[in-house]
Amino acid sequence: MVLTSRVVPALAPPPGPPIAGDFAARLLRLPIHALGLDEAAVLTRQLPNLGTLLKGRGGADDDTREVDRQLVVRTLNLVQGHPKLIELAEAQAADKEGLAGHLERAEDAWAAEGVGTGELASFFAAGESHVGADQFLRALAGWTDSVAATLAAAARTLFQVLCCCEDEDRESQVIEPTWPNIWNRLANPADPPDLTASLAPLVQVGLVDERPAAPTGDATEPPRVRHFAIHPGVAEAGRAAAGEGIQAAVNVELAAFWDTLYWGGLERESEGGGGMVTLSGRRAAPYLMRRQEWGRAGAMLEQALQRDQSPATVAAVLPMLGRIAEATKGTDKELVCAGELALAFEAARRRDEAEARLRELLARAAACGGHRPAWVAAEHLISLLRNTGRAEEALGLVETMKEDTRQAGLGPWTQLLTDVKRLELLVALGRDDEVLDEFEALRPRMDALPLSDNQDEFVAPWDVREALLDTGCVAAVQLERWEQALSLNAEAVASRKARSRSALEMARTRSTDYGPLIRLGRYGEAHSLLMECREVFESEGDLPGLGLVFSALANLEDTLDHSDRAIRHEQTALRYRYAVREPGDCALSHFNLASYLRRGGGPATESLAHRVASMVIFYQTASGHFSTYFQALPHDLASFAPGEPPLPADFAALCATVDQVEGVDLAALFHRLPKTRAATGDDALRQVLALARQQPPPKPETPEPSPE
């Protein structure tokens, strides 16, 4: 694995068994801020301006050619192999006199850094530069200032404005509408200069690289969006030269630009504006944070995260919410911002941190009568507890959530979400008939509510509607009501599609159809669906989705009597699911793998161990799947002769067997489970086996329960 970074990462040993030796010493760190002499010389020969000077201009006499070559040698000596310095020198080399003057200023810049001619000359002697990374960055800043000083005022101002923008905002569709407002905000009396005319010199001198946006697929259509790329070191120098005035103007106008799009996206969310809410929330936040508008920035980031919890979005949002939470400590926004950060930790699956923060927030909010932050904390904590196998514990929070809803005077959609949260927990506990009955009672109530009114709501109506449809669909699947499940999920898919939700969320929703399609014998549709979802999950790095897809593929292959493929796919699913550590999913994959091993002629000891492991997890988490699938264990035991295969002697022996699958660590997973039923793994194993022995032997014709 290769990692690249402008900052040396503080890498800790990965989780799991200790790694032999010093982990940090096993990592090879290679600074690559500068090329070696040979690489720099090859690159220089290929450049149009410096390469022509090096090779000799046509018609020039020998003396002129030698002067030109020495100019290039001097350039190589001063750039010291740094690619961006080579690029800047190449732009200046269109004019030999201009390049010579630039090199004089570069020598002064190196001297100011304490880098003398002898140290520079070692580049030719040793074949590589001895200049440090920090010295290179400061030298690059000096070169940038030198080049920028040659520009006209309008071009120099535009360059500094671009440097003050976030990198992803340096594109024509953002800069074109905001450039006039920024120019006027700087109290310039004249009309703003033409953007294209002001940009051309920046490209010419190498400060900006103008690139077309990604192709649309239509070769006849010219690119409509251009990206203005700037080297990070150059941008840092440009920001420093811009000063507070230009930075402030950029912060105001870029925040206003994205804020307008954000509110437009909210107003049109039912018509596909949700994607713009996510995009504009992320893009506005850095400018709002520089203006110390912490509450506004946090609220927009939370809305973005609620609509898109892909790894990329979580990675971008989490550090910003961390800074906001730190900045608002001791203010009236502290509780709200702390709740937003906890949501981000949950989305990042850093659940220990999320739970600790949510419980602290809930206690503090209750102590000060803050019913609104208490409602937020309770909602997120309920979801976290459900996902970590503690649905029974989470049920106790539903009443707290209802009371906070009432005390805060929140609207009917927020009240309805409390009921939906309860149904989600009942599904996890296996009370599916009860869930579908209440689902049918809630639908008319939901359909009667207006999609927009003046009520005080904490939730968007479509989020509540989709959550209710999802819950009804899962209950229908678990009750094997295949057509009803497909119908409910089709409504959820259509709702999210109309709101232009992310490809990841669409794939997560659509993947629910795989089970009903397989049970209805629509194997080709199921396979196509899973392949489409797998492509999205892989591109997004979504581990839960990949665990689901491989488990579903195993189910499909088993149905088609391809046992070897089913076993391989379920083992892969287990690896992903243990990486995520959601106990219910891990238990289902253990259960499924046991079935595939039995049918495929795998080792009886392994199939029985995986069956027992699934029951231990279901039992310890009080999962509704325990009663549904428990009959499979006595079924397995009855099919073997007494003592064959031997049952695990203890919990450690059970772990040793199932841990043979790559990535599985049953002991670590059990350690994180609630201890309300058994205090230890050995206790849980004994209780599960005792329950299995109490069951009457299954009749010979009793079928083994189907995999999930």
Residues 208-257 pLDDT 10s: 998 886 554 444 444 467 899 999 889 999 999 999 999 999 999 999 99
Q: What is the C-alpha end-to-end distance of the chain, expressed in Å?
A: 35
Please indicate whether residue 228 or residue 105 has the higher confidence score (pLDDT).
Answer: 228
Write the secondary structure of 484-531 as one string of H (helix), E (strand) and C (coil): HHHHHHHHHHHHHHHCCCCHHHHHHHHHHHHHHHHHCCCHHHHHHHHH
Structural tokens at position 449: 């509510």
Query: Is the predicted pLDDT of residue 594 greater than 80, yes or no?
Result: yes
Q: Which of 118-127, 512-521, 629-638 has the highest mean pLDDT?
A: 512-521
CA-wise closest residue to 358 among 397, 304, 406, 331: 397
| Mean pLDDT in residue range 400-404 | 89
Banded pLDDT at 373 (limits 50, 70, 90): confident
Residues 404-433, mean pLDDT to the nearest whole number:
91
Kind plus residue range of the DSSP H or E element containing 229? strand 226-229
- Which one has a higher pLDDT value, 2 or 286? 286
Q: 163-172, 200-209, 625-634, 648-657 — which is least confidently predicted?
A: 625-634
Q: Residue 23 CB: number of other CB atoms within 10 A? A: 13
Instruction: Report, as an integer, the average pLDDT of 525-553.
Output: 95
Segment among 487-496, 530-539, 596-605 with least mean pLDDT: 596-605
- In degrees, rounded to 5, the angle at the alpha carbon of residue 572 between the alpha carbons of residues 566 and 576 is 140
Is pLDDT at 702 greater than 60 in this prediction? no
Predicted TM-score (pTM) of this structure: 0.77
Residue 502 Rama label (left phi>0; alpha psi -120 to 50; beta) = beta
Q: What DSSP line would sit under 273-299, residue for residue?
A: THHHHHHHHHHHHHHHHHTT-HHHHHH
With bands split at pLDDT 50, 70 and 90, how would you rate the model's confidence at 329? very high
Residue 519 has pLDDT above 50, yes or no: yes
Between β-strands 209-212 and 226-229, what pairing exists: parallel, antiparallel or unpaired? antiparallel
Residue 211 CB neighbour total at 10 angstroms:
13
Name the nearest CA neighbour of 595 among 552, 546, 644, 558.
558
* pLDDT given for residue 684 in this prediction: 95
SS3 of 160-214: the string is HHHHHCCHHHCEHHHHHHHHHHHHHHCCCCCCCCCHHHHHHHHHHCCCCEEEECC
Alpha carbon 146 to its chain's center: 40
- Give percent above pLDDT 90 in the chain: 50
The tally of CA atoms less than 13 A away on the side-chain side of residue 503 is: 13
d(CA 467, CA 648): 41
When the pLDDT of each residue in the chain is averaged and rounded to a whole number, the result is 88
- What letter does residue 222 receive in the DSSP assignment? P
Per-residue model confidence (pLDDT) at position 450: 87
Query: Residue 487: its pLDDT value, please?
Result: 96
pLDDT surpassing 60 at residue 700 = no
Q: Which helix or strand (DSSP H or E) is residue 558 part of?
A: helix 543-559
Does residue 704 carry a pLDDT above 60?
no
Where is 632: in which H helix or E strand? helix 632-638
pLDDT higher than 50, residue 96 = yes
Of the ranges 2-6, 208-212, 530-534, the best mean pLDDT one? 530-534
pLDDT at 513: 96
Task: Answer yes or no: is pLDDT of 141 > 90.
Answer: no
Per-residue confidence (pLDDT) for residue 609, from 0 to 100:
95
